[in-house]
Structure 1
Amino acid sequence: MTSKLNTATLLSILVLSLIGGSVSLSDGQKNGMGKRIPIAKGVYRNPIEVPTNGREIADPSVYKYKDRYYLISTQEYPHGGDGFRVWVSTDLVDWKFHRSVPIKGKLNPMMAPDLAYHEGTYYLYWSVDDPNHDPKGIHYGAKYTPKGVDFDPFGPDTRYEIFTYDFLHTKRHNIDGEIFFDRNDIYMFFCGHGGIRYKQLQSLGDSGDGPVHQLTSCVVDGIDIKPGEPGNNGWTEAPAIFLLDGYYHMTYSGVHFLRNDYQIHSARGRSIESIKPYKPNPLIIHTEGDVNGMGNNNWIMGPDLKTRYTTYHAKLGEGVFNPATQTGFMRKLMLDRYEVAPEDGIITAAPTLTNQPVPDPVGWSADLASVPSNMAFAAEGKAGITALDGAVKISTTKSGIGRLLAKKPSAADFVVEGHVKGTGLWRESPPSRIGITAAGGTIKLALGFPTNPADSTTPATLQYYIEGKGWTDTGIKDVKFFHAWHKLKIDKNGNTVRFYYDDRFVEEDVIYSSDGGKLGYFVENAEADLSWIGFSNY
């Protein structure tokens, strides 16, 4: 068996395959002298080369910040040193070494790191595999709170500080932790014998003493580690989860990362506790040739804000000595597209080993390092705009409205993403709001502040607006209005409008007429800092 594609939507896979095979040159091909032929412009081929100085990319985790991506992965002992390596890319294909980010505290080897952002603070989790640490796999946690207008998780002054050496309080072998935000609840999913386990967290800083649950049907089982040796006892790892169209979609990996048939399975459910496989597995597998043993995937939105991708690792070759793991192979980064269909769930042609188009860039953007020339400011009442060092600020007086809109209008179907931070408000009517506006003002998503709040620490609410329906509260609780950056996103396709807050899906609604139009930021009866914004049309 070489590969298996689980989908009832053959057309999607045919389209992806035809695109992938349309160019003949590849960085994997060699000429008669044995030298690499440069890959044709605009295409890439798996596995993706990352400059690692001879090290591997295992258990990759990719985080999107504004218009760039950061890649972190398992760090082998003792090569982790006093920090961890970070790579950066704008297109998910061309990766450059960014920096080694220091961590204050005992680091140990870093396995399968995961980065989460919540209310102004970044949280980094990983597990350890240290013979001097018992039990192995305890989850470490470190955090970093940016100051000022810079909220880069891996900026030049970033330094994470360890706050726990046993985040899950289980005293058990726990690896591959994945943070998942489900509206107002936070979970960590992680490995387990007999299926993926998960725990609802008290907070990102303290998991609490709540119970650990297990999804016993989400298991990769019944295969020996090596011929003639006992099976893997249902050992399953590397959960990755997202919520879309009323389903919780999850993937997970097994049998064992040393095997050629290391594989990725998929499952879904209408609730977390009901997640289970819904079609034949595996979703991604490739057992023959120089590239095999695929697992540990995560989900990421492409630079165009609308195309979905998964990153994962694959085992490259036999006889390629890895000095860190003392094994005869290296793990490398893989990138593939996927779609989500109502009936078929996750659909992908992965693994692709032919030429693929490099992810499309965003259709329009403004970095707002200064007042941008491709946007126009308009005031209603008294409002003004000033440039900061890396952002812009809009300030209004009572009842004032300031708008910073793209000069280029969107089409009727679009996706727009922006970053806002509230810094001041008037505590009298009308209510204060900061957010993004689209389709000529017919659709908005905002941090809303009630009339006459008790004080400046009163939590804001997350609200959306659709013309003809007015403002609706999403039910997201305890949004910090002050001193925390928030990513807001509106995705309008056909009559469906989806709203996202800090990369978490929060609401879906219907709009019956919209012709596109101007989009950008608005600030009502408040003061706010604004950063990178971009949009693409469907």
Structure 2
Amino acid sequence: MDLPESWTWDSGEYYGEGDPFILKHNGIYYLYVSTVDDKSGVKAWTSEDLMDWKYAGLVTEEPTTKAAYAPEVVYWNGDFYMYTSPGGNGHYVYKSSSPLGPFKKQTDNLGMGIDGHVFIDDDGKWYFYSTGANRIDARIMPSPTEFGKATDTGAKMNGWTEGATVLKRQGKYYMTYTGNHIWNKAYRIDYGVSDSPDVGFTTNKDQNPLLLNTEGENVGLGHNTVVRGPDLDSDYIVYHSHANPGRNINFDRIAWNGEKMLVLGPTTSEQSDPALPDFSDRFDRKDIGKNWKSVNGGKWGITNSSPNWLEQKTLGKKTWYRQVSKASTEKEYTVEFNMKMVEKGKSENPRIGVVFSYKDEKNYGTAVLSPEHNRLETNFVVNGVEQGWEYANLPEGYDYKNLHQIRVEKSEATFRIFVDGMQKQTREVRNLGAGSIGYTTSDVHGAFGYTAYSNKVDGSNIFDAYKPLPGKIEAVHYNAGGEGVGYYDKTKKKEVNPYRQDCIWQAKNA
């Protein structure tokens, strides 16, 4: 990937983009990379689709960011925190109200090795990962600028180990990390799995290294981040390689097979563009338009601001005002909503949130945020019958006037509800399938940002993605239908069928 305004040495020699990190916030991707050793400041680029990147300038010019290695940015409750290691010597924390800065220094040098990474678990607890003694250490964080004692995560290579990234998927914790010297051609990425965020990471030798290439121009692969694609379902591993001189950024698809993490790469040729959502809206216009409809009234409109927001202004009533899309999801989908409260009324429980699988007022799901009780509340209505409200507490100190995200994943009859990346509820609801998506308020003046859905869930986008060759293709990842369909034994058995059921069966011709 070529970026405008790449880092160069004072001599003019290309330095490039090492240790890439990508933050997605309100539908925009923000890329941060290591700073060349002879300069201060951290550069950033922005994109809506992971393909076209615009240079956004320096997001900080603090003197302590000279040779700022591996900057990572975390959004939490209205603030952005940057963690970076100056020249590989300890860590500083910086803070800003915008992903584009200016980031201001919040701490002195805290030590803790290099290549700091932050992970926030479903319960709202923070963890910080960095280099230890040829291993990756973890520390519980009481706050975004406080760090506890180090624990050995178990993640290590045979020698120097750095560049941890942690994600959670279906109850398991996955850590990617990099080993040996950065300028070695065998610089590589491994991964480990654990049932805990800070200890017990183990590796499977048959599945590692995750990425390695020692021949040709694309060698020395390492220090990655993992980012969700624009379709809300595809995962990408983003890493650097040697550019001789300097370093370049690389993107490859992650292909999940159960608990196995696989990468369709490393690739050196052009790949398909990242898939886009089936529906999205940034509300970057003056009027709501024909793609949305109002239910139960309310004063809906588009703000005159930058960026624009969809908003509902009416207060003082307990009516559920809704704005729903005329477009409809399929039976299985992933949807992302972004919102903030402008003002709340004086009722017992003012709420702001979302609707999905919406057919009419007798068939829909809803997930709302309650500022009064600091919790997520969900309910489902099927054929006019309420399925019952369920509640999940949110972290202390939540400020609902700042942007928060709700994400809904629907797989068969299972609905998984996430708030700011934290999985807060899982509900089984039958007889509720395809439908519209939208926003809802009750006695809240709310503002709503980037909105999108994709008719994919649980990484199913990978089934129909092109697979690079030479490489390894898992049997489970055959095409879903059409040209190049796969075949399998669909024998009926009493036990749960272990095979995918979406393939065309042609036993007569087998």
Q: 1:484 to 1:67 in 2, by over 3 A?
A: closer
> Which whole-Å deviations, capped at 9, do the CAs of 1:266-315 have from their partners, x for residues lacking one?
11111222222145321111111111110111111111111111101111
Q: Hey, what's the Cα distance between the residues in 1 that align with 2:350 and 2:336?
A: 21
1:472 aligns with 2:409: no
2:232 is aligned to: 305
Taking structure 2 as the reference length, what is the TM-score of the superposition?
A: 0.80
1:74 is aligned to: 34
Q: 1:106 to 1:194 in 2, by over 3 A?
A: closer
1:490 aligns with 2:408: yes
Contact 1:462 1:479 in 2 (8 A): no
- SS of equivalent to 1:293: coil
- SS of equivalent to 1:439: strand
Q: How does 1:384-399 map to 2 (within 5 A)?
A: 384-388=299-303, 389=305, 390-396=308-314, 397-399=316-318
Deviates more, 1:368-377 or 1:242-251: 368-377
Query: Which consecutive residues of structure 2, in runs of 5 or more, have no partner in the other structure?
Result: 7-13, 457-510
1:159 is aligned to: 102
Deviation at 1:471, TM superposition (A): 2.4
Contact 1:395 1:402 in 2 (8 A): no
Deviation at 1:374, TM superposition (A): 4.2
Deviation at 1:377, TM superposition (A): 4.3
Give the counterpart of 2:180 among 223, 244, 255. 255
Q: Hey, what's the Cα distance between the residues in 2 that align with 1:442 and 1:108?
A: 53
Amino acid at match of 2:120: F
Contact 1:296 1:312 in 2 (8 A): yes
Deviates more, 1:471-480 or 1:289-298: 471-480
Deviation at 1:359, TM superposition (A): 0.4
Identity %: 23
Amino acid at match of 2:151: H
Deviation at 1:492, TM superposition (A): 1.1
> Which whole-Å deviations, capped at 9, do the CAs of 1:14-34 have from their partners, x for residues lacking one?
xxxxxxxxxxxxxxxxxxxxx
Q: Hey, what's the Cα distance between the residues in 2 that align with 1:334 and 1:361?
A: 19
1:203 is aligned to: 143
1:267 aligns with 2:196: no
Amino acid at match of 2:344: L
Amino acid at match of 2:234: T
Contact 1:201 1:207 in 2 (8 A): yes
Q: 1:309 to 1:207 in 2, by over 3 A?
A: same
Contact 1:251 1:265 in 2 (8 A): yes
Query: Which consecutive residues of structure 1, in runs of 5 or more, have no partner in the other structure?
Result: 1-47, 130-135, 147-152, 222-233, 321-328, 451-458
Contact 1:375 1:404 in 2 (8 A): no
Q: 1:374 to 1:363 in 2, by over 3 A?
A: farther
> Which whole-Å deviations, capped at 9, do the CAs of 1:176-227 have from their partners, x for residues lacking one?
11110012201111112232101010111x214x2111123x1110xxxxxx
1:357 aligns with 2:272: yes
Count of aligned positions:
433
Q: Hey, what's the Cα distance between the residues in 1 that align with 2:127 and 2:290?
A: 40
Taking structure 1 as the reference length, what is the TM-score of the superposition?
A: 0.76
Give the counterpart of 1:368 among 283, 287, 294. 283
Q: 1:259 to 1:105 in 2, by over 3 A?
A: closer
- SS of equivalent to 2:31: strand
2:374 is aligned to: 460
Q: Hey, what's the Cα distance between the residues in 2 that align with 1:348 and 1:512?
A: 34
> Which whole-Å deviations, capped at 9, do the CAs of 1:368-392 have from their partners, x for residues lacking one?
2444214434253x62124321213
2:156 is aligned to: 219
Q: How does 1:279-318 map to 2 (within 5 A)?
A: 279-280=205-206, 281-316=208-243
> Which whole-Å deviations, capped at 9, do the CAs of 1:56-109 have from their partners, x for residues lacking one?
1100001113333221100013333xx321112233233332222234564322
Q: 1:402 to 1:481 in 2, by over 3 A?
A: farther
Taking CA–CA contacts closer than 8 Å with sequence separation of 6 or more, which of the two structures ends up with the larger relative contact order? Answer: 1
Contact 1:490 1:499 in 2 (8 A): yes
- SS of equivalent to 1:428: coil
1:242 aligns with 2:167: yes
Q: Hey, what's the Cα distance between the residues in 1 that align with 2:65 and 2:178?
A: 26
